[in-house]
Structure 1
Amino acid sequence: MRGSLGGPRVLLRRLREVMAEPVSAQDRLDKIVVLIAANMVAEVCSVYVLRVDGTLELYATEGLNRSAVHQTVMRAGEGLVGLVAQDAKPLSLSNAQAHPAFAFKPETGEEVYHSFLGVPVLRAGNTLGVLVVQNRAHRTYSEEEIEALQTTAMVLAEMIASGELSALARPGAEPAARRSLHLSGLGLCDGIGLGHVVLHEPRVVVTNFIAEDIVREVARLDDAVDALRASIDSMLDGGDIGSVGEHRDVLETYRMFAHDRGWLHRLREAVLTGLTAEAAVERVQSDTRARMMRQSDPFLRERLHDLDDLAHRLMRQLMGRTHAPKPEGLPKDAVIVARNMSPAALLDYDRSRVRGLLLEEGGPMSHIAIVARAIGVPTVGQIPNAAGLVDPGDAIIVDGASGEVHVRPQADVQAAYAEKARLRARKQKQFAALRDKPCITRDGEHVALNINAGLLVDLPHIAETGAAGIGLFRTELQFMVAASFPRAGEQEKLYRAVLDAAGDRPVTFRTLDIGGDKVLPYMRSFDEENPALGWRAIRLGLDRPGLLRSQVRAMLKAAAGRDLRLMFPMVADVAEFVRARSIVERELTHLRRHGYLLPDQLQVGVMVEVPSLLFELDELLEHTDFVSVGTNDLIQFLYAVDRGNTRVSDRFDPLSVPVLRALKRIVDAGKAHGKTVTLCGELASQPLGAVALIALGFRSLSVSVTAVGPVKAILRQLDAGRAAGHILPWLENSGGDMQLRQRLLAFAAAESLSV
């Protein structure tokens, strides 16, 4: 078949016929190896399938001893077959026995064969097996023959992935394509999600692999590539995005890859073997994905996402789809799997059917994680290649507490997690029973337990949890989920709805905390080396006073005739707060002049999250009506640790002596000035953290919705005086012993507190 274009195309057509025959899986495989051997003028053709135990088993052969089928097994990396599987790339040898990796298997009778060509059987970059041809003669396989065998391997990949071969396997030696997977990631939102996989961006399914007209397929490919390049150029040059920023960088990378001659050459070569244009794109990208997943260079691995996106764009272009396909027929127990997604995209799903969320990226403070917690969806992030490891409809378990994920779990694992979910449901019922009970410690200390919110979907939680109010309403979430900048009227409508839902409960609105890592898609972004320390929050608001004024005016108008609490984030010194408060006074004057009804009572506060304020607390509290401690940022700034960086975010304990001493300083200053001090942040949402905060003197906490029950339950069991007596003396004089968490745990155990 060397030099002939008819060979591969004829083989693919014959394979299609065999795949359609109503025969057993073994008979089908046996026919396939005979066809491949005859077409490639090879004396041997063998199929090895990767098993769940990581070994490779001979499933079918033409030329080797048939008795070796299902008997010959190779360890990972063993022999030439193991080398192909390990490296995920073709291996062609004219004298195989001279290769250092050659492993002799006497039962196969392959000692008389010298030349060897092996290609990995790949799907979505994952190795499912190895396809091999051999000859007695010392021959060199041509590039065309290698391409043809890789193309044929695509058909085998679909057969293996379908689960058809599972019936041939012994228990414990099933094909790895459908094996159970246990993955460890980062828990982003507590809870257990049991359900079935829904890909947020479903793969473009190629149904027609075999080309009828090669010339036409090449033309289709060229036209699609030209259209893809034109669309990227249009986005870059048309002024729809800024001249700098992350979005532009991504598109510039797309443009670079789209004009890469090597990529286009590989696509054309794949079409010339007999594939349709879309099948060629899938094959080339699967090969590329397999190679790049094995790279140790993080930069190269990151580029894999760009290439995946580009390949998907090209496939949609070929199949006449201008947008990514949307999941259809959402099951009642959907677990959404995505590389990453926007908060708006998550909110587009029917919440009553979403049981969990699995992300390749995502950190605990990412926007999607914040929204997932707001709507109570168990979420796990930091699972590399998550979308490539699952198929739509796969059974899956997501444990948002431990970060564990089970794909296609065994029956005993499913049963264990189902029982865990039932126990959790019973505990939630116990928490729900506390809804109307006051949050009072055993020794009579009242604690205002509020919730954190930021979207309309959060509002029912006020009544559901029995919260004292909303201690932190993140106004920027409305801006992040919107397609364009919300007008003043839209903002006013949201703030009024929040106040209506809260009734007589207090609501504290935080003004926009955008900038830094919270980039709005419709606003021009700026590259900053340290975005968390950069142009964000109140800094942006004071530099763009029109933005801040319109938001403050919307809040004041929404709160007409009611109480209003608003606070400013990221304030670094008293002068900034004074400037911000003057904007509020200016807007009040404007509304009075134009006859608007004003709030009955207005309190203006500040978030203490920049450490510099720790040394201006007395001056600050003379100007502000209340303060709210933002522990998420305060702790990261105290320790100079990026909370979104998984390499360092868990390096320092929030329940540490420096942190609790800083918090004690704030709460004591508040008491001295007679000003309310509340605390919002993840620390308050942890039962053990809440115990420490009450011991320090905090009597107002704002927690995530899912934390209200557990925190209220433990505070009702707590003797606040005993906690203070245990912690404070040691905090003042630790003697160099910094193991505060252990002391807190010991106290909780002695007091029979369920932390």
Structure 2
Amino acid sequence: MSPVSSGNAGGSRVLLRRLRDVMVQDADTQTRLDRIVAQIGTTMVADVCSIYLRRSDGSLELFATEGLSRDAIHRTRMKAGEGLVGLVAEGVEPISLADAPKHPRFSYRPETGEDPFQSFMGVPVLRSGRVVGVLVVQNRYARTYEDDEIEALQLIATVLAEIVSVEDLTGALSEFQIKPTTPETLKGKAYSRGLASGQALLHDPDVEPTRYLSDDPVAEEQRLDEALIKLRSGLEALLAGDVQTLGGTSFEVLETFHLLSQDRSWERRLRDGVKNGLTAEASVEQVRSEHRARMTSAKDGYIRDRLHDLEELDNRLLRYLSGEAGDRKEAPENSILVARDIGPAELLEYGRGRIKAILLEEGSPSSHAAIVAKAMGVPMLGQLPNLLSRVEAGDMIIVDGNDAQAYLRPDRMVSAALHSRFEAQSAEQKLFAATKDLPSKTLDGQTIQLLLNAGLAIDLEQLETTGASGVGLYRTEFQFMIADSLPRLDAQTALYTEALDLANGRPVTFRTLDLGGDKVAAYMPTEREENPAMGWRAVRMGLDRPGLSRYQLRALVRAAEGRLLRVMFPLVAVVDEFHRARELLEKELAWARSNGRLGPTRVEAGAMIEAPALAWDTASIAEHADFLSIGTNDLMQFFFAADRGTAKVADRYDILSRPALTFLKHIRDSAGQTPVSICGEHAGRPLEAMAMIGLGFTRLSMPAGGIGPVKRMLMSLDGEDFSRTLMSLLRIGDGHLRNALKDYAKTHSVIVN
């Protein structure tokens, strides 16, 4: 039995102190690691202790050993997955065998002289969830290694990972895969188009331990206790609604975090590390690396989600230990934001200008974070597999939002090839700029209004650069989402006044607050809902809280004094809701007149058609509304019963299908003479926009990046001819029309690319 068995934490601390002495010695990498294996072998009473490090080609090279032949050092290399060492790296879990030669994966290497050794224990050496090596001990006679011996070796592997990481900084391990250094190309899904390059900025950056070994385990355990208390109290406060910012985090996730924070096995692993001589931060880092590594190799989606939750919990605890909880550092210039997922408020916290692109391991193309990315004019990719384990902070990245690819640490050839793409993009932008002042008409003379979707005042600068005829949707909720308290009347009035001033006489359609779902204001506690997208949000919240609605409407009325005011109410499901919302607007107009205010010169009130119930009653709402706008993002998710925030179904159904297009045509025909616009990301895609024109829609509201391509498309389109073709396809075509529409565009030289 070894000195570190039977719960003897003292033996582990003795070994860790010896390793700390080795770490501070002035020696080269080989000498340092040779001394480490000697110390481990002696302390654990092992006949063999060996360190294998992963090379850039994925093989594992014997780098240092005590007990095997020294002639095998740097000669013995195990291919990926080869032997028991490869099995440890492959499974990212410890392996303990009493009779190793009988295992089917045992690989005999005569140059090592390992014939006499029967027992084998190996643990992965993990850094940021990546396997950088394997630490092995062997004994001459058959024996079963106890659980606390395995944990002790894992503890040592954590310290070893830090040692080799430091050595890597000196360049001594440049041929080994301590950090991701080789070029990689990841294929994902494009949520916002465009090209960008910059350096990786981690949204939830690793809080790296500054010390790995402690001098006072009792004091470290007390620090761990205090951090756990703060972590749990913080989660309880979030669940109770006493929170400064929620961002995009849902209550379901918070409840999961809260339950996991009470997990005894998780806490026990943390305490064991501290008791054995690690600092509290190093103990959390050890557990976090295990979670990351298991998550990378897990095949089952449910298990991956739970491991993801545990990793998030590890990150939160590290931030409490470091004192960085709640801090958000300013983004450096030319940053590529890298995250597992992100909410719209969190994204807005970074501001605009420094973030050049966004990469997500998860995400959804119709999420509000994607909408914000389009508004910011930055490319966004999602569904990038194992992104966080492949990127280090500061890595150079090129993002191709057109082909949905991210190039990590690109080599010169890739950089040169993509540089030509940047030049082509610049040339395309110049082409769009040259057409911005031309009439927005089809070949047969049909005028199509191209409108801008906005949510930030800076978005309105795009009115001039794109030639948009106005703002078809101004999202007012962003100001509420990024504030710590309800924006005051003067602040709201100033924002809306600035928007109207920047529009310079062009019409601006203000959508009233669309809070709820994934858009949460920190100062407005909400109840948990099974399906928040169809819950208490948008106009429903506004009608139930008339004071909040009138407060905003008063600001809009003030801002529009002497000008046109266009107000649009979101997620109206029945006509009565529109009447009640309009009554609130009329009360504010009357209040302004009674207090001697000038008021707007004209007021137009409209409704967003996002609920199928209102879509089927379009004829009725058209009699009362001054205009209508179809919110395709929400309407299509309700139409197809497919949550746009769920990646597995977000792209499952196509708006360019016969059911969806027939449904949209019904709305257009039922509206009669009431103006109806298409609003959403679909309006900004040339092929989808062509279909909308064919259905009879002449008002399209879209992100700024879509106006140039859509205008180029419609200027090459014979609208009347295409409309006849589309009506024929709706009568006799199959359910999927996308390819047929592409064929029409190709044969009639309509530019949809």
Cα deviation, residue 558, structure 1: 1.3
Contact 2:349 2:482 in 1 (8 A): no
**What is aligned with 1:34?**
38
Q: 1:34 to 1:420 in 2, by over 3 A?
A: farther
Cα deviation, residue 98, structure 1: 2.7
- The 5-angstrom pairing of residues 514-663 of structure 1 reads 514-663=515-664
In the alignment, the residues of structure 2 paired with residue 625 and residue 261 of structure 1 have an alpha-carbon distance, to the nearest angstrom, of 60
Q: Secondary structure in 2 aligned to 1:111?
A: coil
Q: Secondary structure in 2 aligned to 1:635?
A: helix
Contact 1:202 1:327 in 2 (8 A): no
Q: Secondary structure in 2 aligned to 1:112?
A: coil
Q: Secondary structure in 2 aligned to 1:724?
A: helix
In the alignment, the residues of structure 2 paired with residue 622 and residue 415 of structure 1 have an alpha-carbon distance, to the nearest angstrom, of 58
Flag structure 2 segments of 5+ consecutive residues without an equivalent.
Answer: none
- Is the aligned partner of 1:196 residue 2:193? no
In the alignment, the residues of structure 1 paired with residue 21 and residue 454 of structure 2 have an alpha-carbon distance, to the nearest angstrom, of 58
Deviations 1:218-269 (A, max 9, x none): 3443444455455556666796699xx9766555544544444433332232
Q: Secondary structure in 1 aligned to 2:432?
A: helix
Q: Secondary structure in 2 aligned to 1:460?
A: helix
Q: Secondary structure in 2 aligned to 1:178?
A: coil
- Corresponding pairs, count: 745
Contact 1:46 1:61 in 2 (8 A): yes
- The 5-angstrom pairing of residues 96-495 of structure 1 reads 96-161=100-165, 163=168, 177-229=180-232, 250=253, 252-319=255-322, 321=323, 323-327=325-329, 330-349=331-350, 351-383=352-384, 386-495=387-496
Cα deviation, residue 461, structure 1: 1.6
Greater displacement, 279-288 / 233-242: 233-242
**What is aligned with 1:711?**
710
Q: 1:535 to 1:210 in 2, by over 3 A?
A: closer
Cα deviation, residue 500, structure 1: 0.9
In the alignment, the residues of structure 1 paired with residue 681 and residue 240 of structure 2 have an alpha-carbon distance, to the nearest angstrom, of 43
Deviations 1:407-436 (A, max 9, x none): 223333333333322222221222122222
Amino acid at match of 1:512: L
Cα deviation, residue 393, structure 1: 1.1
- Is the aligned partner of 1:81 residue 2:104? no
- The 5-angstrom pairing of residues 726-737 of structure 1 reads 726-731=725-730, 733-734=731-732, 736-737=733-734
Query: TM-score, normalising length from structure 2?
Result: 0.91
Contact 2:616 2:667 in 1 (8 A): no
Amino acid at match of 2:740: R
Amino acid at match of 1:315: L
Contact 2:50 2:136 in 1 (8 A): yes
Amino acid at match of 2:734: D
Q: 1:448 to 1:237 in 2, by over 3 A?
A: closer
Match of 2:52 among 48, 60, 63: 48
In the alignment, the residues of structure 1 paired with residue 243 and residue 738 of structure 2 have an alpha-carbon distance, to the nearest angstrom, of 51
In the alignment, the residues of structure 2 paired with residue 226 and residue 515 of structure 1 have an alpha-carbon distance, to the nearest angstrom, of 30
Amino acid at match of 2:695: L
Amino acid at match of 2:493: E
Identical-residue share of aligned pairs (%): 49
Q: Secondary structure in 2 aligned to 1:397?
A: strand
In the alignment, the residues of structure 2 paired with residue 83 and residue 168 of structure 1 have an alpha-carbon distance, to the nearest angstrom, of 23
Cα deviation, residue 449, structure 1: 0.9
Greater displacement, 191-200 / 221-230: 221-230
Deviations 1:151-188 (A, max 9, x none): 23223323555646976677xx8567434333333322
Q: Secondary structure in 1 aligned to 2:648?
A: coil
In the alignment, the residues of structure 1 paired with residue 631 and residue 500 of structure 2 have an alpha-carbon distance, to the nearest angstrom, of 22
Contact 1:64 1:109 in 2 (8 A): yes
Deviations 1:86-124 (A, max 9, x none): 222222222212333322233322121111111110122
Greater displacement, 224-233 / 76-85: 224-233
Q: 1:300 to 1:487 in 2, by over 3 A?
A: farther
In the alignment, the residues of structure 2 paired with residue 584 and residue 324 of structure 1 have an alpha-carbon distance, to the nearest angstrom, of 39
Contact 2:22 2:35 in 1 (8 A): yes
Greater displacement, 221-230 / 86-95: 221-230
Greater displacement, 696-705 / 536-545: 536-545
Q: 1:437 to 1:347 in 2, by over 3 A?
A: same
Cα deviation, residue 48, structure 1: 2.0
Amino acid at match of 2:269: R
Q: 1:307 to 1:640 in 2, by over 3 A?
A: closer
In the alignment, the residues of structure 1 paired with residue 281 and residue 94 of structure 2 have an alpha-carbon distance, to the nearest angstrom, of 22
In the alignment, the residues of structure 2 paired with residue 613 and residue 225 of structure 1 have an alpha-carbon distance, to the nearest angstrom, of 49
- Is the aligned partner of 1:754 residue 2:746? no
Q: 1:533 to 1:266 in 2, by over 3 A?
A: closer
In the alignment, the residues of structure 2 paired with residue 327 and residue 589 of structure 1 have an alpha-carbon distance, to the nearest angstrom, of 46
Q: 1:317 to 1:701 in 2, by over 3 A?
A: closer
Query: TM-score, normalising length from structure 1?
Result: 0.91
Amino acid at match of 1:323: A
Q: 1:413 to 1:325 in 2, by over 3 A?
A: farther
In the alignment, the residues of structure 2 paired with residue 226 and residue 488 of structure 1 have an alpha-carbon distance, to the nearest angstrom, of 39
In the alignment, the residues of structure 2 paired with residue 225 and residue 352 of structure 1 have an alpha-carbon distance, to the nearest angstrom, of 37
Contact 2:243 2:523 in 1 (8 A): no
In the alignment, the residues of structure 2 paired with residue 237 and residue 645 of structure 1 have an alpha-carbon distance, to the nearest angstrom, of 26
- Is the aligned partner of 1:676 residue 2:675? yes
In the alignment, the residues of structure 1 paired with residue 667 and residue 409 of structure 2 have an alpha-carbon distance, to the nearest angstrom, of 50
Contact 2:362 2:647 in 1 (8 A): no
In the alignment, the residues of structure 2 paired with residue 193 and residue 403 of structure 1 have an alpha-carbon distance, to the nearest angstrom, of 12
Contact 2:180 2:391 in 1 (8 A): no
In the alignment, the residues of structure 1 paired with residue 579 and residue 328 of structure 2 have an alpha-carbon distance, to the nearest angstrom, of 49
In the alignment, the residues of structure 2 paired with residue 348 and residue 251 of structure 1 have an alpha-carbon distance, to the nearest angstrom, of 20
- Is the aligned partner of 1:743 residue 2:740? yes
Contact 2:695 2:723 in 1 (8 A): yes
Q: 1:642 to 1:268 in 2, by over 3 A?
A: closer
Greater displacement, 504-513 / 23-32: 23-32
In the alignment, the residues of structure 1 paired with residue 560 and residue 593 of structure 2 have an alpha-carbon distance, to the nearest angstrom, of 14
In the alignment, the residues of structure 1 paired with residue 230 and residue 478 of structure 2 have an alpha-carbon distance, to the nearest angstrom, of 36
Greater displacement, 184-193 / 65-74: 65-74
Q: 1:611 to 1:222 in 2, by over 3 A?
A: closer
Q: 1:753 to 1:127 in 2, by over 3 A?
A: same
Contact 1:202 1:326 in 2 (8 A): no
Q: 1:417 to 1:66 in 2, by over 3 A?
A: farther
In the alignment, the residues of structure 2 paired with residue 422 and residue 630 of structure 1 have an alpha-carbon distance, to the nearest angstrom, of 35
In the alignment, the residues of structure 1 paired with residue 20 and residue 3 of structure 2 have an alpha-carbon distance, to the nearest angstrom, of 22
- The 5-angstrom pairing of residues 497-512 of structure 1 reads 497-512=498-513
Flag structure 1 segments of 5+ consecutive residues without an equivalent.
Answer: none
Q: Secondary structure in 1 aligned to 2:588?
A: helix
Amino acid at match of 2:635: L
Amino acid at match of 1:687: P
In the alignment, the residues of structure 2 paired with residue 437 and residue 29 of structure 1 have an alpha-carbon distance, to the nearest angstrom, of 70
Contact 2:436 2:465 in 1 (8 A): yes
Q: Secondary structure in 2 aligned to 1:210?
A: coil
User: What's the RMSD between the two structures over aligned residues?
Assistant: 3.0
Deviations 1:188-219 (A, max 9, x none): 21122311111223222212112223344334
